[in-house]
Amino acid sequence: MAILRTCTALACVAVAASARQLPLVADDSYNPAPSSPIVVSNGTSNGTVIDTKKLQADIDINKLVARAEALSKIADLSLSEYNHPTRVIGSQGHLGTVDYIYSELSKLGDYYNVTNQTFPAVSGNVFESRLVVGYEVPKSASPMSLTPPTKQHEPVYGKLLLVPNGGCSASDFSRNMTGHIALIKRGTCSFGDKSANAGKAGADAAIIYNNDNSTLSGTLGSPSPYHIATFGVSAAEAAPWVAALQNGTTGLDAIAYIDSTVDEIMTTNVIAQTTAGDPENCVMLGGHSDSVAAGPGINDDGSGTISLLEIATQLTKYEVNNCVRFGWWAGEEEGLLGSTYYAEQLSAAENQKIRLFMDYDASPLIPNGVFQIYNSTNGQNPAGSGELRVLYEDWYKEQGLNYTYIVFDGRSDYVGFLDAGIPSGGIATGAEGIKTKEEASIFGGEAGSQYDPCYHELCDDIHNLDLTEWEANTKLIAHSVATYAKSFDGFPKRVAAVEERSLSGSKKSTPQFKYRGNELIM
């Protein structure tokens, strides 16, 4: 996320102090030496074959909470630079998170082969922005993430020019836009393409207006040298400008100002694979190790990071039949960077070894959350995605828990895997969406309020966890690992058409999803 939020030193201290008063665990910080004996196997296990009931029984909420406390302290490593805790890529808090994951896994002997995957990522910050059209300051104006600044980080003045046909092709820019500000309708192609096309035509800035009544806050995605400073505005606020320009008005002056940076940095995924189990048939699962800049991300996705780490630890008690591979992705919040990089780097042979990918992004139910299953179906997604959905349904039913479906729309790390032809699915808990009356009746909580009021905020701290539900979802994750580590019976074989999908077919010029991570891309 691009908006850098700061807090006063005082407010940050208050947050850090209140986290320490949590009555959830015994006084001390996370103690790396586990209190109950954990048999660390070196891949020649003690003979106990993986069993879902046993692995689920090994999930202890106190161990999850102890790890959440450790992660909170790690997020505080960013205080000197950000004035508040964060684990955004490039921060000390994120470097500390990667170190923590790596060192915890290293304690597990050679049960796992642990590797780092370092890759280039983009990181953007918008420090200040302003848009004026005519005499109005549009309230809905919001700079796109990963937008470059206006020239010299100074305001630019120009006439607003309406771009015909949505600005997806060079021929929409027959007018010389030099010294002007392009007004472009949302739709058909990505915001990044529109911005680059306007930039090529010489525009100083671009305004993309919405084609529905929602707010328009998106990202330009992968940087291009042609991108220009770009805002999103609502359809309602743009309507009078569009009408005036369509009517031949030439006098609509505008001022655009964005002070921002877009930097390329190196960041790291951590991958751990069991040394035992059939290496040709792996169950893979992942969560993202980073947070947004605005806060410590203890739920999003500290919780998923921790659930995976704890399951990886408990799994060492057992013998697996199939290989289990864990991934902790960096740069999810900047547009699913780590998981996409990982999936794209797989050779055709390596790709085939991954039978499925399970995405665990923010698994605990936040206080007003819901149990959601990605609506991963077989027709639209690689075969196996549907079977995985059924595994989650069956588990919630068995526990007597209600669940709903959430659209599989590109908002988390499964995208790169789907694009690579790998069956995928996962669970979620609601994020920034608004709870409906029906959901309140089956899950409790408050209708009309955000599921997670702390989504991508400073308050996504250790208090933003519902422990009962976190434990439940972690047991479900354990169940998914144990099931496939034991057997892929009845689970569809990978199809060899992957190359086809990933090398030609699915590399469409228009993106498959409206989202890439938490932000709209088109």
Which residues are known to be catalytic?
Answer: 332
How many CA within 13 A on the CB side of residue 12?
Answer: 22
Among the listed residues 36, 152, 171, 247, the single contact to ligand NAG using CB under 6 A:
247
Is residue 377 a contact residue for ligand NAG (CB under 6 A)? Answer: yes
Q: Is 442 exposed, middle or buried (CB count within 10 Å of its CB: 0-12, 13-18, 19+)?
A: middle
Among the listed residues 18, 380, 468, 510, the single contact to ligand NAG using CB under 6 A:
380
> Are the CB atoms for 416 and 454 separated by under 8 Å?
no
Q: How far is the CB of 376 from ligand NAG (least distance, A)?
A: 8
> Are the CB atoms for 235 and 212 separated by under 8 Å?
yes
Among the listed residues 81, 212, 344, 432, the single contact to ligand NAG using CB under 6 A:
212
**Residue 80, SS3?**
helix
Q: How many chain residues touch ligand NAG (CB under 6 A)?
A: 31
Among the listed residues 102, 119, 226, 513, the single contact to ligand NAG using CB under 6 A:
102
Among the listed residues 222, 345, 375, 506, the single contact to ligand NAG using CB under 6 A:
375
Stretch that binds ligand NAG, among 140-148, 256-264, 395-403, 422-430 (CB under 6 A): 395-403
Here the tokens at position 41 are 């196997």
301 prior amide bond cis, ω within 30: yes
Among the listed residues 213, 347, 504, 509, the single contact to ligand NAG using CB under 6 A:
213
> Are the CB atoms for 452 and 435 separated by under 8 Å?
no
Site string for ligand NAG, 292-321 (x = CB under 6 A): -------------------------x----
Q: Which is nearer to ligand NAG, 19 or 216 (CB)?
A: 216
Is residue 383 a contact residue for ligand NAG (CB under 6 A)? Answer: no
Is residue 290 a contact residue for Zn ion (CB under 5 A)? Answer: no
> Are the CB atoms for 161 and 246 separated by under 8 Å?
no
Is residue 457 a contact residue for Zn ion (CB under 5 A)? Answer: no
Is residue 44 a contact residue for ligand NAG (CB under 6 A)? Answer: yes
Q: Is 80 exposed, middle or buried (CB count within 10 Å of its CB: 0-12, 13-18, 19+)?
A: exposed
Q: Is 310 exposed, middle or buried (CB count within 10 Å of its CB: 0-12, 13-18, 19+)?
A: buried
Stretch that binds ligand NAG, among 83-91, 94-102, 224-232, 513-521 (CB under 6 A): 94-102
Neighbouring CB atoms inside 10 A of 325's CB total 21
Report how far residue 203's alpha carbon sits from residue 163's, in angstroms, rounded to the nearest whole number. 11
Q: How far is the CB of 101 from Zn ion (least distance, A)?
A: 16
**Residue 269, SS3?**
strand
Region of residue 444 (phi > 0: left; psi between -120 and 50: alpha; otherwise: beta): left
Report how far residue 36's alpha carbon sits from residue 56's, in angstroms, rounded to the nearest whole number. 16
Locate tokens 């058409």: which residue?
Answer: 497
Among the listed residues 49, 243, 265, 447, the single contact to ligand NAG using CB under 6 A:
243
Here the tokens at position 436 are 């409906």
Q: How far is the CB of 362 from ligand NAG (least distance, A)?
A: 20
N-terminal to C-terminal alpha carbon distance within the chain:
16
> Are the CB atoms for 188 and 213 separated by under 8 Å?
no
Is residue 171 a contact residue for ligand NAG (CB under 6 A)? Answer: no
Is residue 468 a contact residue for ligand NAG (CB under 6 A)? Answer: no
Strand partners, 181: 160, 205
Among the listed residues 24, 401, 459, 467, the single contact to ligand NAG using CB under 6 A:
401
Is residue 361 a contact residue for Zn ion (CB under 5 A)? Answer: yes
Among the listed residues 237, 301, 461, 469, the single contact to Zn ion using CB under 5 A:
301
Q: Which is nearer to ligand NAG, 145 or 429 (CB)?
A: 429
Q: Which is nearer to ligand NAG, 271 or 294 (CB)?
A: 271
**Positions that interact with ligand NAG (CB under 6 A):** 39, 42, 44, 46-48, 98-99, 102, 113, 115-116, 176, 178, 202, 212-213, 243-244, 247, 268, 317, 375, 377, 380, 400-402, 405, 441-442
**Positions that interact with Zn ion (CB under 5 A):** 300-301, 361
